[in-house]
Amino acid sequence: MTVEHSRQFTHLHLHTEYSLLDGACRIEPLMERVKELGQTAVAITDHGVMYGCVDFYKAAKKAGIKPIIGCEVYVASRTRFDKVNRIDGSYHLVLLCKNETGYKNLIKLVSAGFIDGFYSKPRIDHALLEEYHEGLICLSACLAGELPQALLAGDYEKAKTTAQYYQELFGKGNYYIEIQDHRLPEQRRVLPMLVQLSQETGIPLVATNDAHYLRKEDSRMQHILICIQTNKTVNDDDVLEFGTDEFYVKSTDEMYALFSAWPEACENTNKIAEQCNFDFEFGVTKLPYFEAPDGEDNRSYFIRLCEEGLQRRYGPQAPDEVRRRLDYEISVIDRMGYVNYYLIVYDFINYARQRGIPVGPGRGSGAGSLAAYCIGITDIDPIRYQLLFERFLNPERVSMPDFDVDFCYERRSEVIDYVIRKYGADHVAQIVTFGTMAARAVIRDVGRVLDMPYQQVDAVAKLVPMELKMTLQKALKTSKELARQYEQDPSVHELIDMALKLEGMPRHASTHAAGVVITREAADEYVPLSTNDGSIVTQFTMTTIEELGLLKMDFLGLRTLTVIHDAEKMVRSLKPDFSIAGISYEDAAVFDMLNAGETEGVFQMESGGMTQAAVGLQLKSVEDIIAIISLYRPGPMDSIPTYIENRHNPENIRYKTPQLAHILDVTNGCIVYQEQVMQICRELAGFSYGQADLVRRAMSKKKHAVMDAERRHFVYGSTEPGRECPGCVNNGIPAEVANSIYDEMSSFASYAFNKSHAACYAIVAYQTAYLKCHYPRQFMAALLTSVLDNTNKVIQYTAECSRMGIHLLAPDINESGVGFTVQGNDIRFGLLALKNVGRNLIEAVVRARTLNGPYQGLYDFCKRMYGTEINRRAVESLVKAGSFDCFVPSRRASLEALEGILKSVENDARRNLDGQMDLFGSITGAEAQGQSYTIPEKEEYPVDSLLQMEKEVSGLYLSGHPLDQYREETEHLASHKISQLTGEEARRHDGEQVVIVCSIVRIKTINTRAGGMMAFLTVEDLSGTMEVLVFPKTLQTYAANVRENAAVVIRGRVSYKEDEASKLLADHISMVDEYGKDGRRKVDMSNKNAKDGLWLKLSSMDGGVFHEVENLLEIFEGDFPVYMHFEDTGKTVLAPRRMWCVKHGLLFEELGRILGEENVKVR
């Protein structure tokens, strides 16, 4: 359509992808569309949120389009505090920022909508608008606005009064009556009345189009988005629909044609656009205020801390190299204005250390700062490990540095609480993050909405390669089968086309696991806030927060720090002076253990791939651990064989120039670290470290223009002021060699790892390995305690204890602690692992035992615990787990006596304190008197019942395992352990046919749409648990074998999805008892009247099934007679001698697969 350049139009009511699962105007393509239409400005007005405002602003500026920041807010029908079902709703209202005052007021409004007014939607009210209206332009919104709703209700006077209220509130020229026409009957009813209102009140009209997608043909895409949001399919009758396909970004001509009777309504969009002139401020740091103690100047306080730390770390005579490095860092930190930043981080880390909260040695590039090491922010020597300060804080690139800090995961919240107390609750907020529709996930979402069969969608999704940063476009190029189905199958073509349009869009908002923003003034002075699960969260993401100059901190909870801390405490009971800080990092026994592949429980090194790398490399130092942590990732993983080969054959290493030798010798001639790229630029071409860091960033982000310019500087040097460097050629390196080195750096830089980060994690990895090597019981006890909420991990680590010769003792009321504890040469099960037994009760149990001696029996225990948080369910859990086996040999006797014991204790308490409430509820039964209680002897429950009780209360089998008696059968029958199918290597087995031997822990059945019944089984072997899906046909065939506690053999296909645990899709389920110790199926010889032999039932002698059976029997030829019954003739015949067979379990199993097990009998 031709654009008339004499007139202009601006879209002022538009929903981007940040109107989650509703808006489909994707920001980047939106700017292209606006430019294509010849429009010069556009507004963002997402529903109740400002998530996308900064991205929108930057994209518009980049495209040369004027961005207008706004929001379509929800106004409460009464006040924002009124939240009564079916009474309190909300109206829509569009607000646009004229200036910075308007922006600050808008973020106040939007934040209050979430924090105070959330009721189905984030709602503001008139009171808030009266406080925060300055600097804003207001539009009366769509059909859901107050004016249209009053008009539709037939209340013209209310509409008029409301319009006059807003006109008076916002002021003349700042309030507009919004008109829309999407061919909806309701809009056409209210349109003339809105015009009449405008004429009567003098309030100007403005035309908008409530744009939810870019082009008319995108309406189906937006409909699918709505279906994803509402969990509907396109075939459902009750889907929320827009009614027409007119909600798109229309051209100027289309808008003027639509409102030809009121052209001024279109012209007013440009007047409004001219009034809106708000710009974000980027790159200006806004750190919180920090006050040094005793009125000391912050700079001198920082320098004093550095100097004291230098002496503490390096002694009174620190090497000159270290002294110069510290002075240099202090000068850069001071010049760039980050002294306060260092002090803020030091302050809360110091708080944690003083209170015994474990803090990690560092994380990320911050470990490259010597100043941070000196003042105690980090605990890893950057000089020893050749870590670079400029990788953290580049004096030539103005951007916020970023200290990420690991804390004990149990006590991380204490540090955050301290920060909140210090800076004020309204100055601290968590940070939003968005779950996006990634390549596989978007196929699944769209497939469900299009009502396609699950298995077809699952198969298509799995054709997308599981690689880093994989997109559907990439997948179509790399997966031939996906491309073939896309071209040949219309349903797959539609699925992929729609998925391509939605891929990468935000699906939901959640809270970043660790990110916290700390602001100088109240947080809602800078950014809009929302709420997620009760927490106050910024509406801008972490990167946006940093761009706006605000202080973002990562308070990470690391379970391993808790494990190290707990193990350290247990070791100190043997060696009071033991400290993990004092261990040697050159202990040969530790490296021998890792080199033997004993990595279970060792931080960062547990996976099969890492273990294999360690065994192949044969680690000799922490530097080796740093290297494999860096290399074991997609991309650089391909270099591991070369790295290992060079390690064992150093004579084969070839350096392109001798100057590379001392940079790469630590990594066997391979470029592994980002810091090495920087060192190469520095030492070969004479770059400053700041320049070298800029090159590294350009390479890692594939900024080709920058890379080409820097190549010239690298090879030939530069005389550009501020960028001077001699270049490789002037340093005696031929241009050809220099270009070759630059090419190698470029190809690897996007994969190269931050050595500072790897070094921090290598230190933690070594510490866990040291503890496992020298204090295995203490370490494994701490490790088991840390994973109490993860049954799979407990099973995995229990198996490792068994391998190490450490016995896991069952719970004991007189021996067990809160967590797992060391007892002699064994580990005692912790009571916190038991269900229905709370931490407070356990601490009371341990405290009473410590103060007053061991418990004398179940009665004594109940009597002494009376008045604490004890209840009947807790005592039952303790008994079922075997905690009282030391007193009464029969758990049945204890459980059956429990009622009388509790009643007796209750009566004793009543006598002591008249009127005491019955803590244990109404209990009938015998009432015992006095200070003791005799428990009658009872025959114990069967072993399988005892095991089931243990499983019920602890999630584990404590005194044995149902599969213990089938270890030999498992050895022959199982192709995999469950841990192999569910761990980090699970994706490798996707689609494989496997066999597992397991016990069925839990069964859940559902009816399918087709009317059949399917089952979801939770199964467990000695290595872990997983879910098994049994579809109707399989369930019908093997229903007799699907029962709780059954020990079974399951054959099936592994199904792995990136966003959930892998599952097994069963196609065969048999009882383990059907097999002998050798794994062969047992032969049924019970029918004495039938002739001995193999009896088969077939439908006919004709067809492929008979010939398949015939071929199979000939393969297993032997002396065992075969009888065949044919259903079509009704005859039973003895097969020819050539078809007689050997008695072999595999043959019988395969015949069962072909004919059905019920049609194969051995007599």
> Higher-confidence residue: 496 or 1117?
496
Distance CA 793, CA 782 (A): 13
Sequence-distant (6+) residues with CB within 8 A of 733 are 657, 659, 684, 741
Query: What's the pLDDT at 1?
Result: 42
> Are 630 and 755 in contact, with CB atoms under 8 Å apart?
yes
Place of tokens 């007139």: 7
> Are 14 and 25 in contact, with CB atoms under 8 Å apart?
yes
pLDDT at 1071 over 80: yes
Strands (E), 489-538: 506-518, 529-532, 535-538
Q: Across residues 462-473, what is the average pLDDT? A: 85
> Are 699 and 687 in contact, with CB atoms under 8 Å apart?
no
- From-to residues of CATH 1.10.10.1600 in the chain: 438-504
Place of tokens 């099973």: 795
Query: What's the pLDDT at 241?
Result: 67
Q: How many CA atoms lie within 13 A of 339 on its CB side?
A: 18
Fold for the domain defined by 27-275: TIM Barrel (3.20.20)
- From-to residues of CATH 2.40.50.140 in the chain: 964-1074
> Are 120 and 170 in contact, with CB atoms under 8 Å apart?
no
Conformation bin of residue 857: beta by default, left when phi > 0, alpha when psi is -120 to 50:
left
**For 801-837, how does the pLDDT look when each residue is reduced to its tens digit (9 = 90+)?**
988 999 999 999 999 999 999 999 999 999 998 989 9
Number of helices and strands (H, E) in the chain?
A: 45, 27
pLDDT at 927 over 70: no
Q: How confident is the model at residue 1086 (pLDDT cuts 50, 70, 90)?
A: very low
Q: How many CA atoms lie within 13 A of 999 on its CB side?
A: 22
Query: What's the pLDDT at 913?
Result: 60
pLDDT more than 90, % of the chain: 61
Distance CA 1084, CA 1158 (A): 13
For 964-1074, the fitting CATH number among 3.40.50.1100, 3.40.190.10, 3.40.50.300, 2.40.50.140 is: 2.40.50.140
Q: How confident is the model at residue 29 (pLDDT cuts 50, 70, 90)?
A: very high
Nearest CA to 387 out of 405, 409, 362 is that of: 362
> Are 150 and 114 in contact, with CB atoms under 8 Å apart?
no
Continuous segment of H or E residues that includes residue 1104: helix 1104-1115
Q: Across residues 584-596, what is the average pLDDT? A: 96
pLDDT at 919 over 70: no
Q: Does domain 438-504 have CATH number 1.10.10.1600?
A: yes
Whether the model clears a pTM of 0.85, i.e. scores above it, the answer is: no
Nearest CA to 276 out of 51, 102, 526 is that of: 102
Q: How confident is the model at residue 189 (pLDDT cuts 50, 70, 90)?
A: very high
pLDDT at 480 over 50: yes
Q: Across residues 1097-1123, what is the average pLDDT? A: 84
Q: How confident is the model at residue 370 (pLDDT cuts 50, 70, 90)?
A: very high
- From-to residues of CATH 1.10.150 in the chain: 791-954
Q: Does domain 791-954 have CATH number 1.10.150?
A: yes
Query: What's the pLDDT at 932?
Result: 66
Continuous segment of H or E residues that includes residue 482: helix 480-488
Q: What SS3 class is residue 867? A: coil
Distance CA 424, CA 418 (A): 10
pLDDT at 96 over 80: yes
Continuous segment of H or E residues that includes residue 994: strand 993-1007
Residue 23 tokens, joined: 């808006």
Query: What's the pLDDT at 706?
Result: 82
**For 975-1007, how does the pLDDT look when each residue is reduced to its tens digit (9 = 90+)?**
999 988 987 677 788 888 999 999 998 899 888
> Higher-confidence residue: 1129 or 545?
545
pLDDT at 930 over 50: no
pLDDT at 630 over 60: yes
Query: What's the pLDDT at 1059?
Result: 66
**For 495-514, how does the pLDDT look when each residue is reduced to its tens digit (9 = 90+)?**
999 999 999 999 999 999 88
Supply the mean pLDDT for the chain: 89
Strands (E), 783-825: 808-809, 821-823
Query: What's the pLDDT at 931?
Result: 53
pLDDT at 663 over 50: yes
**Of how many residues is the chain composed?**
1163
Amino acid identity of residue 871, one-letter, is: N
Query: What's the pLDDT at 929?
Result: 38
Query: What's the pLDDT at 849?
Result: 94
**For 18-27, how does the pLDDT look when each residue is reduced to its tens digit (9 = 90+)?**
999 888 999 9
Query: What's the pLDDT at 878?
Result: 95
Sequence-distant (6+) residues with CB within 8 A of 1103 are none
